[in-house]
Structure 1
Amino acid sequence: MARTTPMSGFPEFLPADRIIEQRVLDALTTVFELHGFGSVETRAIEPLEVLAGKGEVDKEVYAVRRLHADTDGDDAPVWGLHYDLTVPFARYVLEHAGKLQFPFRRYQVQKVWRGERPQEGRYREFTQADVDIVGADVLADHHDVEIVAVAADGFARLRRDLGFPAAVLRVNNRKLAEGFYTGLGIDDPAAVLQRIDKLDKIGPDRVAASLVADCGVTEAVARSCLALAEIATTDESFVDRVRALGVDHPLLDEGLELLAAVVRGAGRVAPGLVRADLSIARGLDYYTGTVLETQLAGYESLGSVASGGRYDRLASDGRRTYPGVGFSFGVSRMLVPLLGQGVLTTDRSVPTCVLVAVDADESRDAAFATATTLRGRGIPAEVAPKADRFGKQIRYADRRGIPYVWFARPDGDEVKDIRSGDQVAADADSWQPPADDVRPRVRPTGE
């Protein structure tokens, strides 16, 4: 095969980086399952009309078709690769509703494809890890608190176990914002939300000008909208600050109560991780209540690396409506830049904990038996690829980061920790390495 050229926007990991990715996914799925969510996987393709019906995504969808027409002469049908996990999940709920127990608690970890210009944190093929709670016709408000708690727990575990940068979950409620805008006399709150959603990108002056020019509000009203967006607290004190702006509306009252409950509930799981930030708008129309965005400390240029919220019409079959609340971890979005900048590292590029040395080809069967015994006890082991001087086999293990080398001796086996040089008598039926050595360790570079 001729030398190949990497495809932009389709990241591939070397084994050491893949270990880190797997540990990230292990940490997240552990959190999901601890909170009682079950795993699903949906097909990678959906009918193009279904994908195109979810908004202006024509330029983002990759079309898929058979190379050849069907044998009956008709053109092969054309599908599209899903560009997020929400659309296939909505279809999944409709198709399987009769077999699901509601509220339905699901997590899903899969590849997603999106035809956009590749840049740091944005790729054409990437992995998402989504978690959702879906109800049939109704979904209690307390599930919003639960989803935010799951998100907070996930980021707290990534930081605690793997050394991820600190995360800040910024949370708002669309009802709060819409009630505030309506209380100001604004006829089209959704249009204001779309402008406020650009605050981080274009700044307050341009947002204010857009509100006046495009939404028909006065400069005073525009300033009030920006005053609301400036409020951010790590506790429930945002309620008093909103009240001080002097706007009243029942929907505003409801939104304040819901957001306070979310901040209070998430604070019990991960104190200081969740922040009420009234600039968060999530301009997408399908969000109807809680909205979330997440930034990593020191990597704010990546924008939001995880997001979600409440949507009262995830799916509908005309008879029943399925509301939901969910959160999506952009695994590739945050992990690829961190790996590219060398922020995280692992102590070995293979899962192997023990290399069983081979002193002669005749002893390879015995070495395999030793490795088999270790594996049976949950200790990853491999046999040296060739019989060679023990010094060369130790160097082979060292290059791959394998911490232990096992030697068969006539008077009893021994195992060597090649990091410290310690070598002790050992029996494959009872020897146990330290717990931290059984699997590769992930940690911040330099720790």
Structure 2
Amino acid sequence: MPISGFPEWLPAQRIIEQRVIDRIRSTFELYGFAPLETRSVEPLPTLLSKGETSKEVYLLHRLQGAPDEASGDDQLGLHFDLTVPFARYVVENAGKLVFPFRRYQIQKVWRGERPQEGRYREFLQADIDVVNRDNLPFHYDTEMPLVIGDALSGLPIPAARIQVNNRKVCEGFYRGLGLTDTEQVLRTVDKLDKIGPARVAEQIVETAGASEAQAAACLDLAAISAEDASFVDAVRKLGVEDPLLDEGLEELVRVVETAREHAPGLVAAELKIARGLDYYTGTVYETQLRGYERFGSVCSGGRYDNLASSGKDRFPGVGISIGVSRMLGVLFGQQALSVSRSVPTCVLVALPHEEQRVACDRIAASLRRRGIPTEVAPTAAKFGKQIQYADRRGIPYVWFPGADGEPDSVKDIRSGDQVSADAASWQPPAEDLHPVVSGA
């Protein structure tokens, strides 16, 4: 019985997912990120200290556990993202790591959200982060979108548009307006796409002690968008001044202008982007697929200066995460991705008689040694039925062992072409060797 929010892909979809993961992983490694996997659980106090997540955390306890196991500081929860466990890992292993430390992590996470298209309670994320001891140079903030743009541009998916903002811009602006509870304003502005500007303005007044004029100014800031540095002039026209605002604008310009130079059209400044998690302190990212904007962000992250610390040591970082399951769930739901076959098999070796299975296994082994995915027919049925079996599974080639001294032959069952072949040298066309993923 299916459980809502816990996706189980069909084989064809799983092949697509693995191809996507392969592309993402190879791109991350191309940029020098090292692989890492952390445990699935964290102490509950650690999970609850990083933002408004208490409603989303899944708790872990034994069915027959003692009553005191279900409460207290020792209680464990499944991680809801990969950044919090990564920060904990850095602190615990700081003496063994070389800084700045660049890592990627492709792993499942769990979040108690209301399931809907593209949103799950168990899902796969692919993260990259760079952390350093004491101070992290800002150029890493400008690198993050370029890595993601590179990874996603190599996939048969709609073009990505990475929206960036800087929390210093927002917090400095709110301070300049005279507002003190800047975190509450940020959390409220983050709901813009969900509840609309009118309701956001009401909540800023209700929860952050703002006047209607101050709330209106917050919305004016959130409405600013640009693909170049012109957003700075738009902010200045609002007439608000604050040193933190100046610092944030300068940083945001660097991110946007760097992307314009290396990947035109990839990045745009969107001053409504806030990100719901409290640990972000500067640059924040959200990514939408063009034509799929209504489904929201499929890749997000940001700068965090205070998430990881131990005594006098501080480990600031910046990271960004691709919601692999979220992105694929949306594209699967819109039939926007397909694969040429639902099995890896390229060749089916036909079985004339059960007594010849050992000989057919040898043929298959010879093909496999040269990297050709091969299987032997399950039964010695009539050749027509064996061809039908291959056709149903999408296997493009059927191999026929030679009889009475005749050479072997291989048949392309799509075209009907059949030629003599030697298992030690025959090679299929490159496009047939493995399943090919394509977009709609």
Give me the TM-score of the superposition, normalised by structure 1.
Answer: 0.91
Equivalent of residue 205 in structure 1, options 198, 202, 210 = 198
Residue in structure 1 matched with residue 422 of structure 2 by the alignment: 427
Secondary structure, aligned partner of 2:161: strand
Q: Which of residues 381, 385, 390 in structure 1 aligns to 2:378?
A: 385
- Cα distance in 1 between the residues matched to 2:256 and 2:173: 19
Q: Does 1:134 align with 2:131?
A: yes
Matches within 5 A, 1:66-77: 66-68=62-64
Q: 1:32 aligns with which of 28, 34, 39?
A: 28
Q: Which moved more, 1:274-283 or 1:264-273?
A: 264-273
Measure the CA separation in 1 of the matches of 2:380 and 2:325.
41
Q: Secondary structure at the match of 1:58?
A: coil
Shift of 1:58: 3.5
CA deviations on 1:150-207 (whole Å, 9 max, x unpaired) are: 122222222xxxx212322111111122222223333333332222212212222222
8 Å contact kept, 1:152–1:266:
no
Query: Which range moves more in the overlay, 417-426 or 311-320?
Result: 417-426
| Aligned equivalent of 1:79 | 76
The aligned counterpart of 2:318 is 325
Give the secondary structure class of the aligned counterpart of 1:345.
strand
AA aligned to 2:175 is: T
CA distances 1:367-400 after superposition (whole Å, capped 9, x unpaired): 2112112111111111111112222111111111
1:147 maps to amino acid: M
Alignment match, 2:408: 413
Task: Please tell me whether the aligned partners of residues 152 and 274 of structure 1 are also in contact (alpha carbons under 8 angstroms).
Answer: no
1:156 matched to 2:149? The reply is no
Q: Quote the Cα distance in structure 1 between the aligned partners of 2:135 and 2:325.
A: 33
Separation (CA, whole Å) in 2 of partners of 1:100 and 1:305: 30
* Letter matched to residue 96 of structure 2: K
Structure 2 counterpart SS, 1:293: strand
Partner of 2:58: 62
Task: Name the counterpart of 1:345.
Answer: 338
1:293 alignment counterpart: 286
How far does residue 84 in structure 1 lie from its aligned partner after superposition?
1.6
Inter-partner Cα distance in structure 1 for 2:406 and 2:146 = 57
Distance 1:280 1:255 in 2: 14
Which residue among 271, 278, 289 is the counterpart of 1:278?
271
> Hey, what's the Cα distance between the residues in 2 that align with 1:74 and 1:279?
44
**Paired residue for 1:6, among 2, 5, 11?**
2
Judged with a 3 Å threshold, the aligned counterparts in structure 2 of structure 1 residues 268 and 436 are, in CA distance, closer, same or farther, namely: farther
Equivalent residue letter for 1:338: L
Between 224-233 and 132-141, the greater mean CA deviation after superposition: 224-233
Once the two structures are TM-superposed, the CA of residue 67 in structure 1 deviates from its matched residue by 4.1
Aligned residue runs from structure 1 range 40-439, under 5 A: 40-68=36-64, 78-158=75-155, 163-409=156-402, 410-439=405-434
Equivalent residue of 1:314, what SS? coil
Q: Could you report, residue by residue, the CA deviation over 1:334-356 in whole angstroms, capped at 9, with x for unpaired residues? A: 21232233221111111111111
Give the stretch that moved more between structures: 408-417 or 20-29: 408-417
Q: What amino acid is the match of 2:120?
A: Y
For the Cα contact (< 8 Å) 2:228–2:269, is it kept in 1?
yes
| CA shift in 2, pair 1:56/1:189, >3 Å | closer
Partner SS state of residue 154, structure 2:
helix
Counterparts in 2 of 1:68 and 1:313: CA distance versus 1, 3 Å: same
Provide closer, same or farther for how the CA distance between residues 75 and 151 of structure 1 changes in structure 2, counting only shifts above 3 A.
Answer: closer
Partner Cα separation in structure 2 for residue 388 and residue 49 of structure 1: 62
C-alpha RMSD of matched pairs (Å): 2.1
Deviations 1:282-339 (A, max 9, x none): 2432111100111223333322221100000121112201111001111111212322
Q: Deviations over 1:383-430 (max 9, x none)?
A: 111112222111111111111111122322221111122222222222
Structure-2 change in CA distance of 1:44 and 1:415 (3 Å): same
Instruction: Name the SS for the 1:60 alignment partner.
Output: coil
Tell me if structure 1 keeps the 8 A contact 2:351–2:381.
yes
Residues 411 and 419 in structure 2, CA contact (< 8 A), matched pair in contact too: yes
Residue 135 of structure 2 aligns with an amino acid whose one-letter code is V
TM-score normalized by the length of structure 2 = 0.93
In the TM superposition, residue 132 of structure 1 has moved relative to its aligned partner by 0.6
The answer on whether the counterparts of 2:223 and 2:271 sit within 8 Å (CA) in structure 1 is yes
Shift of 1:361: 1.7
- Say which of 14, 20, 23 aligns to 1:18: 14
Counterparts of 1:412 and 1:237, CA distance in 2: 71
Unaligned runs of 5+ in 1: none
Q: Distance in 1 between matches of 2:401 and 2:82?
A: 52
